[in-house]
């Protein structure tokens, strides 16, 4: 089934920020849009918000004034639902309450034509539960836009067990016709984005709860070292801890309290204390005119080495070597032991990419007390910050030489306490693991999972599965296994699909 024809009228129920945004998208695409809300004043406010945004786009030169006027004219306020009985598509964007939505869809089913499509903008509720009891459960699906809807490209098209394939395909093609980036997903807790993104918050909250580093430092490593648009604490403060905690809790409960999705007790206490983020003036950080700007911990300048030795293959960190050489550091290369990951000898210290073990434990296993580990970077040739940690046995002098060497190569260096997997690698590994499980369980294809994470959360490297392919599935499996051994928790169990790809050498994403 192709995209909806332009002459098909669209009903949007709910005139808040999300509903008015969806109405604006459909109207710009050429549809007549009925805008309804149970509160009459909300309809006027929603249409005014659309007008304001269209004028903004005109002022920025992104929209022709005549087109803006025509778009607004296609948004038709309706005081009662019966005024939209000729709509061929109804999209609800009302309160996230299952019973309220079910009541609405029952009413819409009795009002609209039998071939009309009913769509929910829910971010987490079950499409199957919404469809239960309807006479035509095959005509309902999820159409999850992201806020702000006119700007965000991603749309998750959610199919329930009874959703007709032609309905899902029509919504997919329509979203694409409307200028969006649609993905297909099955109706499961969190769909794609709200499920796969959980580790981005969870790992940072866990490291913070272990008092391994300050929030600003962890944010900076992930932002400046790994290319994430915002650090996890910045992002949660923006979303609101109450909302973020509630979503995590709902996913946790929906998966029968699977420990992989366990909420953070620390975040629960933040919510209890009313520290919800920007909207309350304080969350992880403080906000307001007098609030100090969060500053990451940067190591003071140190003397680095002018000559280092690389033993074996250092894998994903290989681009680092050219950067060191460009900084005037002589890099000598030696062959390593077969099957053993390589490292760099910098002064008295052995320096290696973290693999999910603590530096202290790894120093004992490798009989090398002066061990320093560095974190994952998006691109070692250009990333501006890197995280380091040292084994408890490592001398401070050896550590300072390593810090100075990275600084000579242009890195801002943040040293954090000895935590398993540091922050960036454990986060990326867990994101890839969750993404792999979503594919394994039929939530979405690998391509749609990575597309969703790129366009819904702006994740770098093409998405978590593409990043895992770059690192190597075997390496990611080892990282997760080491984390599981360190914590002794099912939270870090390896996805069977990820393990299978590690064994057969196939890519997770192609």
In angstroms, the CA 95 to CA 492 distance is 34
Q: How many other C-beta atoms can be found within 10 angstroms of the C-beta atom of residue 175? A: 23
Q: Count the neighbouring beta carbons within 10 Å of the beta carbon of residue 316.
A: 17
92, 109, 156, 234: which one is catalytic? Answer: 156
Strands of 364-501 (E only): list them.
Answer: 371-374, 385-390, 412-415
| Catalytic residue (choose from 20, 120, 121, 123) | 123
Angle between helices 496-504 and 424-440 (to 10 degrees): 100
Catalytic residue, chosen from 20, 126, 128, 194, is 194
CA contacts within 13 A on the Cβ side of 250: 18
- The 3 state secondary structure assigned to 204-266 is HHHHHHCCCCCHHHHHHHHHHHCCCCCCHHHHHHHHCHHHHHHHHHHHHHHCCCCHHHCCCHH
* Helix, strand or coil, per DSSP, at residue 100: helix
Q: Is 144 a catalytic site residue?
A: yes
Element (H, E) at 485: helix 473-487
Q: Check 31, 121, 144, 224 and give the catalytic one.
A: 144
Tokens of 209: 């709860």
For residue 504, indicate whether it is catalytic: no
HSE toward the beta carbon, residue 111, CA cutoff 13 A: 19
Whether 7 is a known active-site residue: answer: no
Are 121 and 102 in contact by the 8 Å Cβ rule? The answer is: no
Residue 241 annotated to the active site:
no
Q: How far apart are CA 435 and CA 445, in angstroms?
A: 10
> What distance in Å separates the CA atoms of residue 202 and residue 261, rounded to the nearest whole number?
8
Residues carrying an active site annotation? 123, 144, 156, 194
């Amino acid at each position: 089934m192709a995209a909806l024809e332009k002459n098909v009228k669209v009903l949007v129920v709910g005139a808040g920020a999300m509903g008015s945004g969806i109405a604006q998208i459909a109207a710009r695409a050429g549809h007549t849009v009925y805008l309804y809300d149970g509160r009459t004043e909300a309809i006027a406010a929603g249409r005014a918000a659309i007008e304001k945004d269209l004028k903004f786009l005109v002022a920025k030169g992104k929209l022709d004034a005549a087109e803006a006027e025509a778009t607004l004219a296609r948004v038709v306020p309706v005081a009662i639902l019966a005024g939209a009985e000729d709509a061929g598509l109804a999209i609800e964007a009302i309160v996230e309450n299952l019973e309220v939505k079910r009541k609405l869809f029952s009413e819409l089913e009795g009002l609209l034509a039998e071939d009309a499509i009913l769509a929910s903008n829910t971010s987490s509720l079950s499409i199957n539960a919404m469809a239960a009891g309807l006479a035509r459960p095959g005509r309902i699906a999820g159409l999850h836009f992201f806020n702000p809807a006119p700007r965000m490209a991603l749309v998750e098209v959610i199919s329930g067990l009874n959703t007709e394939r032609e309905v899902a395909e029509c919504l997919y093609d329509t979203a694409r016709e409307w200028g969006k980036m649609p993905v297909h997903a099955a109706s499961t807790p969190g769909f794609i984005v709200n499920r796969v993104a959980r580790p981005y918050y969870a790992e940072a909250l866990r490291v913070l709860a272990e008092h391994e580093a300050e929030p600003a430092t962890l944010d900076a490593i992930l932002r400046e070292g790994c290319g994430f648009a915002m650090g996890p604490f910045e992002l949660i403060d923006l979303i609101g801890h109450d909302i973020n905690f509630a979503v995590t809790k709902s996913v946790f409960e929906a998966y029968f309290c699977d420990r992989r999705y366990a909420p953070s007790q620390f975040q629960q206490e933040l919510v209890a204390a009313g520290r919800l983020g920007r909207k309350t003036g304080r969350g992880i950080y403080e906000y307001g005119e007098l609030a100090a700007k969060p500053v990451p911990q940067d190591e003071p300048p140190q003397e680095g080495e002018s000559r280092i030795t690389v033993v074996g293959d250092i894998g994903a960190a290989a681009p680092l070597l050219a950067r060191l050489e460009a900084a005037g550091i002589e890099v000598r290369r030696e062959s390593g032991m077969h099957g053993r990951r390589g490292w760099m000898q910098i002064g008295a210290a052995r320096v290696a990419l973290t693999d999910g073990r603590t530096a202290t434990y790894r120093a004992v296993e490798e009989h090398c007390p002066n061990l320093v580990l560095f974190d994952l970077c998006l691109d070692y040739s250009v990333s501006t910050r890197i995280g380091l940690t040292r084994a408890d046995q490592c001398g401070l002098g050896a550590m300072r030489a390593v810090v100075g060497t990275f600084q000579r190569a242009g890195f801002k260096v943040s040293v954090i306490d000895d935590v398993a997997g540091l922050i960036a690698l454990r986060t990326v590994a867990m994101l890839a693991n969750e993404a792999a499980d979503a594919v394994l369980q039929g939530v979405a294809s690998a391509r749609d999972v990575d597309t969703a994470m790129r366009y819904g959360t702006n994740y770098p490297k093409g998405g978590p599965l593409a990043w895992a392919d770059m690192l190597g599935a075997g390496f990611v499996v080892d990282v997760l296994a080491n984390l599981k051994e360190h914590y002794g928790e099912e939270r870090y169990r390896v996805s069977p699909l990820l393990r299978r790809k590690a064994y057969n050498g196939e890519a997770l994403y192609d």
